């Protein structure tokens, strides 16, 4: 008998009725029913067509944040999110990412795999920096992708201030604050290809849009986003 | 982040948590946080780790067992600095002016002897015997001799209640209180009061280590916390266990002569332990399940509230709390009360309200069975025949009553459907101690 990864309660042969009726393969249970119920899947709600957030009645589609993005940026970016960033998700991130409990990747890796199975686009995880890798020891995004094929095409730039201001052209200035760089030898792999960027949380959208801009610049035909939470 | 080298004295902290300026200090010893020799073993908590669960990418490992204390892993060794006993000289640190009874004095002298000879000892004293006061002379001797003292308990409530009392008794001695919910920053102190979990961060720190309420969850039967205690004490340190209800593990250690024992069967005020009244009620569990209480119980509660006699109402399970609370509200009893359980985010505040006499009663799980004193209360136990209530738990619960000289007696009412072996054993233990007390 296994224990719930989140609360340690014994996992008896709990199986929701839905799992019995569904034709898809059974999902391995890693957490108990009460812990599972605390997360809020976004598939059952109306969501923003831009960032994937849960849309309330008053909210336009796309939401105001996404309308602002559309005005300011030169490309259209669409993100899908699987869960609402609610207190349970916040607590999960705290334990998985910040406390570094790598086992907890299994709480969502199957759900993500289910989402990505039919995906034909090239899957690219958002990277973590070398300092995070040295202390945390893992990239929380690739942890979630353990059952999927992905290409690590991006790096976190070591030093953002290597280029002097005067040396920047317009393109460079657009890239101002760009935290990422392409891994040089992999550049050609995405030429004219559809790319799906994966990250753990979409908060302001800045991070994932920086990554998307870079991939488009490198020749990707299209870039969409998938995040665990929004 | 460790910014001052003194924060590393007698402690084990992942090296990455040291400020850059300390990383190269010469006296810092480093050892791997996880050993590979015979399988993976966490060097902080002693747990054997399963490779598949402990794996990080790139052939690194972490400990998933003690991760709630901050992660240790193969990416960063544990840094440790030998305990230097660097405390200011204080030849008479005890500021407590109270008096001990003759019997308490005997135990207190034994405690000094245990500390002086660096023995391992159990002080088995009934609930309300005045265990804390019996420690004062021993702690005073240890502090005067420049020793480092640790007082740990498995229960955070016990630590929180202990800290102000120890602080008042040693008001010139540096002291720190550590537990998972505290905001207080760690600082090197001569006296450390903490939960047994916090001991995992110490290494060969304490010359004298006292474990209060040693027989209780989560310490009892928890190899990780036992390992932590063995690591936290200096190799030739003195260890003193305290409890009113020793468990089998302690009796075993005594019979194997690994532990000496002294025994105090009478309370500090000289009165006997309150004996229990067992009241059998039909269909009690069923009624509680439907948020009802038998009339006789409601009547008692209403009477106690009317008389302003404060009390604790124990229930076996968290889910019973709201049911019983609803039953009391629905019966129209006007009273100020709260419910508390271990994971209750407001638990400490609610207990503080009760202590400040701003509540008539608390409905609680076994979390308040011990280590807490509310002067002059009664206790009621609902479903005392439930398995949750071990004989030790029932003895401890009964021991909340009559602890104060102003009201050395009180009611202990156990409501149940059947008189279980645990209830009988509790009854026997209390009567036995009272008989022993009578012979003194």
Using the Cβ of B16 and the Cβ atoms of chain A, whether some distance falls under 8 Å is answered with yes
Using the Cβ of A162 and the Cβ atoms of chain B, whether some distance falls under 8 Å is answered with no
Taking CA–CA distances from A100, the nearest residue in chain B reads: B71
Question: At how many degrees (to 10) do helices B347-355 and B156-169 cross?
Answer: 50
- For chain B, give every domain's residue range: 5-80, 102-264, 277-439
Q: How would residue A16 be classed by pLDDT, with cut points 50, 70 and 90?
A: low
* Yes or no, beta carbons of A101 and B64 under 8 Å apart: yes
Q: Count Cα atoms within 13 angstroms, Cβ side, for B396.
A: 23
Mean pLDDT of chain A: 86
Contacts B217 to A, Cβ<8 Å? none
What is the helix (H) or strand (E) element at residue A2, kind and residue range?
A: strand A2-3
Contacts B62 to A, Cβ<8 Å? 100, 102, 137
* Yes or no, beta carbons of A100 and B73 under 8 Å apart: yes
Taking CA–CA distances from A102, the nearest residue in chain B reads: B56
Q: Give bridge partners of residue B30 from the DSSP assignment.
A: B79
Contacts A87 to B, Cβ<8 Å? none
Q: How would residue A19 be classed by pLDDT, with cut points 50, 70 and 90?
A: low
Taking CA–CA distances from B65, the nearest residue in chain A reads: A101
Taking CA–CA distances from B59, the nearest residue in chain A reads: A137
A41-229 has which fold?
Rossmann fold (3.40.50)
- Best B50, B57, B76 member to test A by mutation, with max A CBs in 10 Å, is B57
Residue B343 confidence (pLDDT)? 87
Contacts A137 to B, Cβ<8 Å? 56-58, 60, 62, 73, 75
- Tell me the per-residue pLDDT of A173-193, one tens digit each, with 9 for 90 and over: 445 678 898 887 666 788 899
Q: How would residue A170 be classed by pLDDT, with cut points 50, 70 and 90?
A: very low
* Yes or no, beta carbons of B71 and A103 under 8 Å apart: no
**Cis, peptide link before residue A62, omega less than 30° from 0:** yes
* Yes or no, beta carbons of A101 and B67 under 8 Å apart: yes
Length of chain B: 440
Give B293's contacts (C-beta < 8 A, 6+ positions apart): B287, B301, B324, B327, B328, B331, B382
Say how far apart CA B370 and CA B217 lie, in whole Å.
11
The alpha-carbon gap from A63 to the nearest alpha carbon of chain B, in Å, equals: 35
Using the Cβ of B47 and the Cβ atoms of chain A, whether some distance falls under 8 Å is answered with no
pLDDT in tens, chain B (440 residues): 899 999 999 999 999 999 998 988 889 999 999 999 889 999 999 999 999 999 999 999 999 999 999 999 999 999 999 999 999 999 999 999 999 999 999 999 999 999 999 999 999 999 999 999 999 999 999 999 999 999 999 999 899 999 999 999 999 999 999 999 888 889 999 999 999 999 999 999 999 999 999 999 889 889 999 999 999 999 999 999 999 999 989 999 999 999 999 989 999 999 999 999 999 999 999 999 999 999 999 999 999 999 999 999 999 999 999 999 999 999 999 999 999 998 898 998 999 999 999 999 999 999 999 888 899 999 999 999 999 999 999 999 999 999 999 999 999 999 999 999 999 999 999 999 999 999 88
Say how far apart CA B385 and CA B401 lie, in whole Å.
20
- For chain A, give every domain's residue range: 1-37, 41-229
Using the Cβ of B71 and the Cβ atoms of chain A, whether some distance falls under 8 Å is answered with yes
Sign, CA torsion A176/A180/A185/A189: negative
Contacts A103 to B, Cβ<8 Å? 53, 64
Neighbouring CB atoms inside 10 A of B391's CB total 18
Using the Cβ of A101 and the Cβ atoms of chain B, whether some distance falls under 8 Å is answered with yes
Neighbouring CB atoms inside 10 A of A6's CB total 22
User: Class assignment of domain B277-439?
Assistant: alpha beta
Which ipTM did the prediction report?
0.87
Give, in degrees to the nearest 5, the angle at Cα A154 between A151 and A157.
160
Using the Cβ of A8 and the Cβ atoms of chain B, whether some distance falls under 8 Å is answered with no
B102-264 has which fold?
Rossmann fold (3.40.50)
């Amino acid at each position: 008998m296994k224990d719930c990864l989140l609360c340690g309660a014994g996992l008896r042969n709990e199986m929701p009725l839905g799992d019995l009726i569904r034709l898809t393969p059974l999902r391995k249970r890693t957490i108990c029913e009460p812990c599972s119920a605390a997360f809020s899947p976004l598939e059952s709600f109306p969501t923003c067509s831009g960032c994937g957030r849960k849309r309330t009645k008053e909210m336009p589609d796309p939401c105001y944040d996404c309308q602002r993005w559309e005005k300011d940026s030169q490309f259209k970016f669409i993100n899908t999110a699987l869960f609402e960033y609610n207190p349970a998700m916040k607590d999960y991130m705290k334990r998985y990412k910040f406390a570094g409990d790598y086992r907890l990747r299994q709480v969502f890796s199957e759900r993500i795999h289910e989402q990505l199975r039919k995906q034909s686009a090239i899957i690219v995880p958002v990277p973590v920096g070398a300092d995070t890798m040295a202390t945390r020891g893992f990239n929380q995004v690739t942890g979630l992708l353990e059952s999927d094929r992905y290409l690590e095409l991006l790096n976190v730039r070591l030093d953002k201030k290597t280029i002097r201001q005067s040396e920047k052209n317009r393109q460079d200035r657009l890239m101002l604050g760009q935290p990422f760089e392409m891994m040089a030898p992999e550049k050609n792999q995405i030429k004219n290809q559809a790319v799906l960027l994966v990250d753990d949380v979409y908060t302001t959208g800045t991070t994932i849009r920086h990554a998307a801009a870079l991939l488009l610049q490198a020749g990707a035909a299209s870039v969409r986003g998938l995040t665990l939470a929004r | 982040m460790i910014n001052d080298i003194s924060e590393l004295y007698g402690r084990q902290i992942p090296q990455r948590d040291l400020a850059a300026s300390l990383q190269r200090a010469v006296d810092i010893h480093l050892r791997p946080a996880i050993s590979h020799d015979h399988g993976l073993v966490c060097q902080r908590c002693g747990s054997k780790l399963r490779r598949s669960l402990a794996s990080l990418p790139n052939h690194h490992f972490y400990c998933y067992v003690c991760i709630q204390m901050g992660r240790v892993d193969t990416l960063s060794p544990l840094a440790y600095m030998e305990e230097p006993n660097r405390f200011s000289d204080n030849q008479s640190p005890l500021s407590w002016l109270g008096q001990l009874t003759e019997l308490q004095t005997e135990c207190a002298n034994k405690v000094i002897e245990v500390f002086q000879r660096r023995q391992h000892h159990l002080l088995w004293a009934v609930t309300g015997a005045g265990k804390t006061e019996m420690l004062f002379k021993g702690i005073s001797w240890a502090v005067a001799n420049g020793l480092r003292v640790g007082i740990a308990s498995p229960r955070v409530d016990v630590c929180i209640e202990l800290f102000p009392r120890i602080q008042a008794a040693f008001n010139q001695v540096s002291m720190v209180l550590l537990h998972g919910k505290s905001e207080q920053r760690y600082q090197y102190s001569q006296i450390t009061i903490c939960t047994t979990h916090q001991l995992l961060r110490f290494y060969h720190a304490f010359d004298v280590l006292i474990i209060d309420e040693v027989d209780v969850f989560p310490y009892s039967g928890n190899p990780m916390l036992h390992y932590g205690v063995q690591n936290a004490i200096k190799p030739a340190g003195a260890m003193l266990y305290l409890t009113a209800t020793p468990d089998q593990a302690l009796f075993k250690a005594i019979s194997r002569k690994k532990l000496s024992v002294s025994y105090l069967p009478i309370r500090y005020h000289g009165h006997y332990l309150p004996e229990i009244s067992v009241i059998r009620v039909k269909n009690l569990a069923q009624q509680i399940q439907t948020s009802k209480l038998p009339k006789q119980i409601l009547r008692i509660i209403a009477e106690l509230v009317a008389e302003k006699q404060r009390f604790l109402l124990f229930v076996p399970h968290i889910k019973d709390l709201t049911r019983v609370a609803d039953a009391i509200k629905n019966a129209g009893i006007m009273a100020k009360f709260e419910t508390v359980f271990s994971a209750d985010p407001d638990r400490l505040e609610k207990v503080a309200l009760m202590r400040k006499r701003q509540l008539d009663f608390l409905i609680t799980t076994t979390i308040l069975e011990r280590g807490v004193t509310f002067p002059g209360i009664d206790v009621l136990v609902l479903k005392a025949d439930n398995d949750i209530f071990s004989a030790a738990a029932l003895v401890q619960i009964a021991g909340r009553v009559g602890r104060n000289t102003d009201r050395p007696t009180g009611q202990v009412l156990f409501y149940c459907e059947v008189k279980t072996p645990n209830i009988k054993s509790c009854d026997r233990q209390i009567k036995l101690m009272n008989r022993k007390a009578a012979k003194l």
